[in-house]
Amino acid sequence: MPPEQAELGSLTRPPATGIPEPQSFSFSVLNRKPDNLRGSGVREARAGRALGLGERWSCLGSFWLLRGLESPKGCVAFLLRQPGSLALSCTFRRLSPQSAPCGTSPCPALPSGPRKIQQEMEGDPALRLRVFDLNCWAIRYLSKRRQERIRLIGDMLRQEDFDLVLLQEVWSERDYSDLKVKLGGCYPFSHYFRSGVIGSGLCVFSRFPILDTLLYQYSLNGYPYMLQHGDWFCGKSVGLVIITISGIIFNIYVTHLHAEYCREKDAYLPHRLVQAWELAQFIRHTSKAADVVLLGGDLNMHPEDVGIRLLRGWTGLRDAFAEATHFEGCEDGCTLVPNNCFTDKSELLPFPLGIRIDYILYKAISSFMVKCEELKTTTGAAPGMDVPFSDHEAVMATLHIQRQGQAAGATLATAEPMLVDVVTEARTEVAVGLRAAQRQRYSSGRMALLALLLLLLQAVAALGALAGLDAGQPFPKLSFCLLACLAIGILLLATGLHLFHTMEVKMLHSTEEQMRMVLRTLQECPSDG
Amino acid sequence: MPPEQAELGSLTRPPATGIPEPQSFSFSVLNRKPDNLRGSGVREARAGRALGLGERWSCLGSFWLLRGLESPKGCVAFLLRQPGSLALSCTFRRLSPQSAPCGTSPCPALPSGPRKIQQEMEGDPALRLRVFDLNCWAIRYLSKRRQERIRLIGDMLRQEDFDLVLLQEVWSERDYSDLKVKLGGCYPFSHYFRSGVIGSGLCVFSRFPILDTLLYQYSLNGYPYMLQHGDWFCGKSVGLVIITISGIIFNIYVTHLHAEYCREKDAYLPHRLVQAWELAQFIRHTSKAADVVLLGGDLNMHPEDVGIRLLRGWTGLRDAFAEATHFEGCEDGCTLVPNNCFTDKSELLPFPLGIRIDYILYKAISSFMVKCEELKTTTGAAPGMDVPFSDHEAVMATLHIQRQGQAAGATLATAEPMLVDVVTEARTEVAVGLRAAQRQRYSSGRMALLALLLLLLQAVAALGALAGLDAGQPFPKLSFCLLACLAIGILLLATGLHLFHTMEVKMLHSTEEQMRMVLRTLQECPSDG
């Protein structure tokens, strides 16, 4: 036995038949600190899984090779560690591209569907990524047939072979845990983003190790007193997970913006625009080291809405629906359609085909090129079922990622010649919201002052009565006390509202100022100049 | 006149004496779209300013050259635009390092102090950066001699020649505006971060163009009902500004964490630890494209506190005080000292020398090396004044930044062998906070339920009285009404508290889980393994 194999003696593998099959290869304990690792070591590499690579693969990223194991069939198993990150992963490399594939036994845990990740020849790698996005509408006690649908979603995800699953409105952590248990075999890595009172509802399931996560909660998200809408209590956020596939760094964002309850008179438009702006800024600032950026979620905006144009213009993200070579699903890619039994038909009356508010957006930042080969949506009830997965339709994209010679990242000016108009439009809407918030702040402040004044008057009257100055009791004690209670109640409520609207004014003002700064800079170097 | 000069005819420069002096060179209008710019153009470059470069300089970053202007003395003025950003700046390049410096006339707007930015020879550039950090203690109506001190701070900053000024507790936007007007000549670029009810209090003044900004508000920041402390109302945050100096990208962070009111029994420790963790995560995720990271602010933690060890360990940031070659100021670098007339002497009794809670931290990420050549603090009253700038002492660092051959970014494992212990300690504290928050959530929920029960009982009694079921009135109407009002008040208050503590539990739980994940990964590859 060569020394390399002896050092890896603790790997769980069939002792006689040689190297385990790459697709299902797993390792458990590696007790020795490898000699070629500087300053760190692996004491225990927990149950790992092969990256699900296809026929041809190679390691593209900069990894520290911890240990390699050569097989009699010409395969090498690598235990890798990426510098700067703490993630451990295991990948495989065939020594000769022409030789037979390593191993033949199928993986019981992995789905038997087509291989998704294909890496063609070293130097010209291509990668195919299948992404699933769905607003699950899983509100405890409120959503119809919630548990049944969550079960259906889990079953379908286990059968299908997506690489990445982005879910919204999974409000119950119990639902997430159930999905996690069910999907553990196919999607061993997952993350649930906690936020607000109820929770952000956002979670991600991945076939690839999640290296890092970050949550950004939007500074504005409706009003706590709008209990019937309830968005405020969710702490709407954008979640970021970072994964690496064959050395390509993916920044995956999942989000859910404030709902639109009345399109004609949308009181939440300024808040949603602030969210779209913060989302764009968050993506711009956190994706600088990424090769590919992917955003999935329920943006609660129609494709032509100013918020989505702002988001796309300011980040350079492209719409998978618009870019897809092949499309299959609801007409116009709609994700809220009348023939879904859970949708409110009256709300969709002005849109007989439905509306498109769920998106998969993407871009390549460094020297990669991303294409959307195929986009699909579900169309109401799941096949063979009488119940759809959700009131929203799922969006499923197949992305093709390829390295290319020169940097693909289009600059803002070239990507969005109309960006000035979009930012101007967004800024106008935010300014309208700012004025409304200022009015509300003023009204609530005035109300609090009036209540305080009333309380002071009552206190003076009470003191006067105690000092025996009054000529008899002007009005009964009961009314007096009730009035005082009312005044106290109004004072507290109005003060709370005043504080809330002060914060709202601050954030709208801040966003409006940022947009003004960007506009000034854009106007200094217009693309039509 | 060569064609290059003709195209730049609208530049404001002395018509006869050739090229303007680099230090004061300004440009106003450039009407033509330069031919070598793809897809964009410069219609109007607003009043600019030279970057304040010293004797030798060169352009290091990747810029688009919009237009160059050669002078008879061998200088070239470049109008530059950085790809991906929209910032315009003007820099200068001497064609021959041995030739005489371009221009000699002094700049009236720039201070006449020593040149700070020195760039030595192309290929081996070195840069000296002077950073100023101060918690200004400028709370309207509460801080003593606020306006006088703000005036003094402004005067001092105008006299001194810092490159970067990071201020905290500038709660009044009026104070910021006054400083902005006063410092416009020396620090032409500035940003104020709005947040919370009162404002984050954070602002930055810079001698170099601010290319981009981002604010991250901490998810936990004390309790709204702790009015006497008031931290909650400030919306404590971390602000990021990005500047580029000679092609070196600086990510500058300014922050102010929750105050410590009682060191023996610090009820806010879990919140401050969540803030330190979120600060570290925010820095890690947003600084990936930076060459140099700089954090300044009032961290409200002693140097040996777990929060600061966590922050330093998880980001790799180094403490300017500990690293400084030369130090001058209060003993042990303290920034809250007993001989400052504004500090509370009783609070500092256990610390006769004072405490160090204001920091400048830094690190180089890519192939740069940062050294702290000198660190200074103020020592109570400003020279020649009877009043200190603030109740805190200012921290002033001179950093020396140099490009080096290989990447300097130390990995986590090698930089902090004790990181596992630190994260474990922090997680324990967060877990303690989590249990306390869970108890408070439970108590407030129970209180709300009891109040609801009381109200229901009263409603039943009232209905009974209306139906004539009662044998006489059990207790007077007044007490009955007051009790109902009290129950409503308690119900509202307890519900609000319950919601707040639910959010608190969520965020503490989330942080604790993140730390657990990091610990698991760290323990899998310990540096002592």
pLDDT tens profile A84-114: 333 344 433 333 333 333 332 222 233 333 3
User: Which residue shows structure tokens 């296809």?
Assistant: A54
Higher pLDDT, residue B42 or B264: B264
% residues pLDDT > 70 (chain A): 71
**Which two structure tokens, joined as six digits, stand for B272?**
């401050």
- Check whether A325 has a pLDDT greater than 80: yes
In B, which residues are within 8 Å of A217 by CB distance? 217, 219
- Check whether A132 has a pLDDT greater than 80: yes
Of the partner residues B33, B485, B503, the one whose CB lies closest to the CB of residue A196: B503
Residue A6 is predicted with a pLDDT of 30
Tell me the pLDDT band of A469, cut-offs 50, 70 and 90. low
Q: Mean pLDDT over residues A436-451, rounded?
A: 96
Residue A281 is predicted with a pLDDT of 95
SS3 A517: helix
Higher pLDDT, residue B12 or B211: B211
> What is the pairing mode between strands B126-138 and B164-170?
parallel
| Burial (CB count <10 Å: 0-12, 13-18, 19+), residue B242 | buried
- Check whether B424 has a pLDDT greater than 80: yes
Of A8-12, A395-399, A436-440, the one with minimum mean pLDDT is A8-12
In B, which residues are within 8 Å of A281 by CB distance? 214
User: Cα separation of A395 and A389, whole Å?
Assistant: 12
Determine whether the interchain pair B40/A83 forms a contact, defined as Cβ–Cβ distance below 8 Å: no
Q: Which of B111, B88, B64, B299 is nearest to B208 (CA)?
A: B88
CA torsion sign for B101, B102, B105, B111 is: negative
pLDDT tens profile B446-460: 999 999 999 999 899
Residue A510: closest C-alpha in chain B: B194
Best residue of A36, A180, A197, A525 to probe chain B, by most B CBs closer than 10 Å: A525
Q: Identity (one letter) of the amino acid at A513?
A: E
Listed as own residue / partner, the contacts of B98-106 with beta carbons closer than 8 Å and 24 or more positions apart are B99/B73, B99/B74, B100/B73, B101/B55, B102/B19, B102/B21, B102/B22, B102/B71, B102/B73, B102/B74, B102/B75, B103/B19, B103/B20, B103/B21, B103/B22, B103/B23, B103/B24, B103/B73, B103/B75, B104/B21, B105/B21, B105/B24, B106/B23, B106/B24
**Which two structure tokens, joined as six digits, stand for B105?**
């006339």
Of the partner residues B86, B195, B524, the one whose CB lies closest to the CB of residue A44: B524
Residue A523 is predicted with a pLDDT of 78
Of the partner residues B38, B235, B525, the one whose CB lies closest to the CB of residue A414: B38
| Contact status, residue B402 vs residue B118, Cβ threshold 8 Å | no
Q: Mean pLDDT over residues B470-477, rounded?
A: 63
What dihedral do alpha carbons B464, B469, B470, B471 form, nearest 10°? 180
B392 included as an active-site residue: yes
| Contact status, residue B58 vs residue B76, Cβ threshold 8 Å | no
**Which two structure tokens, joined as six digits, stand for B273?**
């630890």
Tell me the pLDDT band of A415, cut-offs 50, 70 and 90. very low
Tell me the pLDDT band of A388, cut-offs 50, 70 and 90. very high
CA of A91 vs chain B CAs: smallest distance (Å):
18
User: Cα separation of B414 and B400, whole Å?
Assistant: 23
Determine whether the interchain pair A527/B199 forms a contact, defined as Cβ–Cβ distance below 8 Å: no
Q: Which of A99, A5, A20, A8 is nearest to A56 (CA)?
A: A99
CA of A281 vs chain B CAs: smallest distance (Å):
7
Higher pLDDT, residue B482 or A330: A330
CA torsion sign for B278, B282, B283, B288 is: positive
Higher pLDDT, residue A57 or A400: A400
Of A341-355, A372-386, B92-106, the one with minimum mean pLDDT is B92-106
| Burial (CB count <10 Å: 0-12, 13-18, 19+), residue A200 | buried
- Check whether A60 has a pLDDT greater than 60: no
Q: Mean pLDDT over residues A358-366, rounded?
A: 93
Q: Mean pLDDT over residues A410-421, rounded?
A: 61
**Phi, psi dihedral angles at A506 (to 5 degrees):** -60, -45
Residue A405 is predicted with a pLDDT of 64
- Check whether B409 has a pLDDT greater than 80: no
Determine whether the interchain pair B39/A411 forms a contact, defined as Cβ–Cβ distance below 8 Å: yes
- Check whether B102 has a pLDDT greater than 60: no
Determine whether the interchain pair A482/B477 forms a contact, defined as Cβ–Cβ distance below 8 Å: no
Determine whether the interchain pair A39/B414 forms a contact, defined as Cβ–Cβ distance below 8 Å: yes
CA of A43 vs chain B CAs: smallest distance (Å):
6
pLDDT tens profile A174-226: 999 999 999 999 999 999 999 988 889 999 999 999 988 999 999 999 998 88
* Catalytic pick among A191, A256, A271, A392: A392
pLDDT tens profile B122-167: 445 689 999 999 999 999 888 899 999 999 999 999 999 899 999 9
Q: Which helix (H) or strand (E) holds B497?
A: helix B477-524
Of A223-232, A403-412, B90-99, B379-388, the one with minimum mean pLDDT is B90-99
Higher pLDDT, residue B27 or A436: A436
**Phi, psi dihedral angles at B157 (to 5 degrees):** -65, -35
Residue B524: closest C-alpha in chain A: A44
Q: Which of A127, A128, A149 is nearest to A137 (CA)?
A: A149
- Check whether B443 has a pLDDT greater than 70: yes
| Burial (CB count <10 Å: 0-12, 13-18, 19+), residue A14 | exposed
- Check whether B184 has a pLDDT greater than 50: yes
- Check whether B225 has a pLDDT greater than 50: yes
* Catalytic pick among B191, B256, B392, B498: B392
Q: Which of A20, A188, A165 is nearest to A107 (CA)?
A: A20
- Check whether A509 has a pLDDT greater than 60: yes
Residue B199 is predicted with a pLDDT of 86
Determine whether the interchain pair B506/A199 forms a contact, defined as Cβ–Cβ distance below 8 Å: yes
Q: What is the ipTM of this complex?
A: 0.75
Q: Mean pLDDT over residues A357-369, rounded?
A: 92
User: Cα separation of A173 and A21, whole Å?
Assistant: 35
CA of B382 vs chain A CAs: smallest distance (Å):
34
Q: Mean pLDDT over residues A37-57, rounded?
A: 27
Higher pLDDT, residue A466 or B373: B373
CA of A261 vs chain B CAs: smallest distance (Å):
24
Tell me the pLDDT band of B302, cut-offs 50, 70 and 90. very high
Which pTM value belongs to this model? 0.77
| Contact status, residue B274 vs residue B513, Cβ threshold 8 Å | no
Of the partner residues B43, B503, B525, the one whose CB lies closest to the CB of residue A524: B43
Residue B46: closest C-alpha in chain A: A524
User: Cα separation of B382 and B380, whole Å?
Assistant: 6
Of the partner residues A199, A235, A285, the one whose CB lies closest to the CB of residue B286: A285
- Check whether A529 has a pLDDT greater than 50: no
Tell me the pLDDT band of B482, cut-offs 50, 70 and 90. confident
Cα distances (Å, whole numbers) of residue B237 to B258, B274, B299: 10, 12, 11
Tell me the pLDDT band of A229, cut-offs 50, 70 and 90. confident
Q: What is the CATH number of domain B114-403?
A: 3.60.10.10
- Check whether B189 has a pLDDT greater than 90: yes
Residue B474 is predicted with a pLDDT of 60
- Check whether A485 has a pLDDT greater than 50: yes
Residue A521 is predicted with a pLDDT of 81
The domain ranges of chain A are: 7-110, 114-403, 423-465+474-528
Q: Which of A123-132, B55-64, B88-97, B267-276 has the highest mean pLDDT?
A: B267-276
Residue A235: closest C-alpha in chain B: B503
Residue B416 is predicted with a pLDDT of 52
Residue A512: closest C-alpha in chain B: B194
Residue B8 is predicted with a pLDDT of 32
CA of B362 vs chain A CAs: smallest distance (Å):
17
Residue B79 is predicted with a pLDDT of 44
User: Cα separation of B32 and B40, whole Å?
Assistant: 11
Higher pLDDT, residue B98 or B424: B424
User: Cα separation of A382 and B189, whole Å?
Assistant: 57
Chain-wide mean pLDDT for chain B?
A: 76
User: Cα separation of B225 and A36, whole Å?
Assistant: 56
Region for residue B206 given its phi and psi (left: phi exceeds 0; alpha: psi -120 to 50; beta: otherwise)? beta
% residues pLDDT > 90 (chain A): 52
Higher pLDDT, residue A291 or B104: A291
Of the partner residues B40, B199, B477, the one whose CB lies closest to the CB of residue A413: B40
